[in-house]
């Protein structure tokens, strides 16, 4: 049966229309709102440079972005646009924009909208894997957890130590990213007592299941009970956001970042947080402590949701029991045991 396309491909399709088609297709993968916004910024930033008169074909009048056709996006113009884009930016930002445009053209080729992907002829920077940025100081994670659990900072207008402690613990003892925390539902914590785990959708839509110890499970339940008291039983359904603000609305990116920063201030450890890390410093602390306490590279990869190991020969498939043993060996869980034993009275 012959396939009939919804639209006849044309090299004169408007670039901004194709952007929307691409972003709509990407949305099916359920990326975070932050990720979609980053795609849009990278596409638009380069496209605006393509409207620069210096990049227009010889003798041609530059077109405004709203009317720029895909046929105007030549390899030569892309090279110049990326050259101008790269000048004031870090290599990681340039690489991310290159990857976005490469994915965009791969989508257009697969959809029959353009005959080929020109990005292979556009240089991209080499980006080294960033060095881990854990919290500095051997006992800093324990100091942070204990300070937040006490909840006696008079500067807080609306204290909620049960929630704040769960945020920190999920990052320190399960290695969750900021976007992963925001995407959690109440029903994301599953399993029988003693075999509990948190189910996460990570980068690239890759699912993973991270074992959690009874101490962290108890803190989650204590938080949910405090939430029921504040907002009522109906606000804690399985599909409800796990983390909410003081109005019972799902937490947003800025709110969660501010919460973590305020926890650092309350614990007096701001000087021990690597620059630019913030919540990611907790995830890096989780990973480095696993490594120090004997977890293998494969276990760490699986628990943190990384796509690959540095070299494929280091890959070792591990069982769920081995992953749980690695989690149990995490020293931060031992600090949670003491906090979980405290009933808050």
Under DSSP, is residue 236 helix (H, G, I), strand (E, B) or coil? coil
Residues 6+ apart with CB under 8 A from 237: 186
Task: Specify the higher pLDDT residue, 344 or 187.
Answer: 187
Per-residue pLDDT of 192-233, as tens digits, reads 988 999 999 888 778 889 999 999 999 999 999 999 999 999
Of 3.40.30.10, 1.10.150.130, 2.70.180.20, 3.30.43.10, which CATH number belongs to 15-121? Answer: 1.10.150.130
For residue 316, pLDDT over 80 is answered with no
Cα 165 vs. chain centroid, distance in angstroms?
A: 20
Locate 199 and state its tokens: 């189910």
Ramachandran bin of 86, using left for φ above 0, alpha for ψ from -120 to 50, beta for the remaining angles: alpha
Q: Could you give phi then psi for residue 312, rounded to 5 degrees?
A: -65, -30
CA–CA separation, 198 and 211 (whole Å): 6
How many Cβ atoms from other residues are within 10 Å of residue 248's Cβ? Answer: 14
For residue 334, pLDDT over 50 is answered with yes
Ranges of H-type helices in the chain: 15-27, 33-50, 75-86, 91-110, 140-150, 161-174, 178-183, 214-231, 253-267, 279-292, 297-304, 320-328, 331-341
Q: Could you give the residue range(s) of every CATH 1.10.443.10 domain in the chain?
A: 140-341
Amino acid 312: pLDDT: 23
Q: What number is the average pLDDT over the span 23-47?
A: 88
CA–CA separation, 47 and 55 (whole Å): 11
Amino acid 130: pLDDT: 62
- Please say whether the structural domain 140-341 has been given the CATH code 1.10.443.10: yes
Amino acid 169: pLDDT: 96
Amino acid 317: pLDDT: 32
Asked if 323 and 191 count as a contact pair (C-beta separation under 8 A), the reply is: no
- Cα-based distances in Å from 235 to 61, 162, 251: 58, 16, 14
CA–CA separation, 6 and 8 (whole Å): 7
Sheet with 197-201, strands from edge to edge, namely 189-190, 197-201, 207-211
Cα 262 vs. chain centroid, distance in angstroms?
A: 20
DSSP state of 34: H
Under DSSP, is residue 244 helix (H, G, I), strand (E, B) or coil? strand
CA–CA separation, 295 and 300 (whole Å): 7
CA–CA separation, 320 and 309 (whole Å): 18
Asked if 170 and 189 count as a contact pair (C-beta separation under 8 A), the reply is: no
Local confidence band at 293 (pLDDT 50, 70, 90 cut-offs): confident
Local confidence band at 9 (pLDDT 50, 70, 90 cut-offs): very low
Nearest Cα neighbor of 279 from 297, 298, 259 is 259
Per-residue pLDDT of 239-278, as tens digits, reads 999 999 999 999 999 999 999 999 999 999 999 998 888 8
Q: What number is the average pLDDT over the span 43-56?
A: 79
CA–CA separation, 47 and 40 (whole Å): 10
| Model pTM score | 0.65
């Amino acid at each position: 049966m012959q396939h009939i396309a919804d639209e006849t491909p044309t090299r004169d399709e408007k670039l901004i229309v194709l952007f929307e088609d691409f972003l709509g297709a990407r949305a099916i993968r359920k990326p975070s709102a932050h990720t979609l916004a980053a795609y849009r910024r990278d596409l638009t930033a380069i496209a605006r440079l393509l409207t620069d008169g210096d990049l227009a074909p010889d003798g041609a009048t530059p077109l405004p972005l709203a009317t720029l056709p895909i046929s105007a996006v030549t390899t030569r113009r892309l090279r110049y646009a990326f050259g101008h884009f790269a000048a004031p930016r870090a290599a990681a930002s340039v690489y991310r924009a290159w990857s976005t445009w490469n994915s965009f053209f791969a989508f257009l080729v697969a959809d029959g909208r353009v005959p080929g992907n020109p990005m292979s002829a556009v240089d991209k920077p080499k980006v080294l894997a960033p060095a881990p940025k854990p919290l500095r100081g051997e006992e800093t994670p324990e100091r942070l957890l204990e300070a937040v659990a006490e909840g006696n900072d008079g500067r807080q207008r609306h204290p909620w130590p049960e929630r704040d402690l769960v945020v920190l613990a999920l990052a320190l003892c399960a290695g969750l990213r900021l976007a992963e925390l925001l995407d959690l539902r109440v029903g994301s914590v599953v399993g029988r007592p003693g075999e509990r785990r948190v189910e996460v959708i990570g980068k690239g839509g890759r699912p993973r299941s991270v074992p959690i110890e009874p101490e962290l499970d108890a803190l989650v339940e204590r938080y949910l009970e405090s939430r029921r008291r504040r907002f009522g039983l109906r606000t804690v359904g399985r599909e409800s956001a796990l983390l909410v603000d003081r109005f019972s609305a799902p937490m947003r990116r800025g709110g969660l970042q501010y919460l973590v920063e305020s926890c650092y201030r309350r614990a007096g450890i701001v000087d021990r947080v690597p620059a630019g890390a913030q919540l990611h410093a907790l995830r890096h602390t989780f990973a480095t402590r696993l490594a120090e306490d004997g977890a293998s590279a494969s276990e760490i990869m699986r628990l943190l949701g990384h796509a690959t190991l540095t070299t494929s020969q280091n890959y070792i498939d591990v069982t769920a029991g081995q992953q749980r043993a690695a989690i149990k060996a995490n020293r931060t869980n031992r600090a949670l045991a003491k906090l979980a034993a405290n009933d808050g009275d």
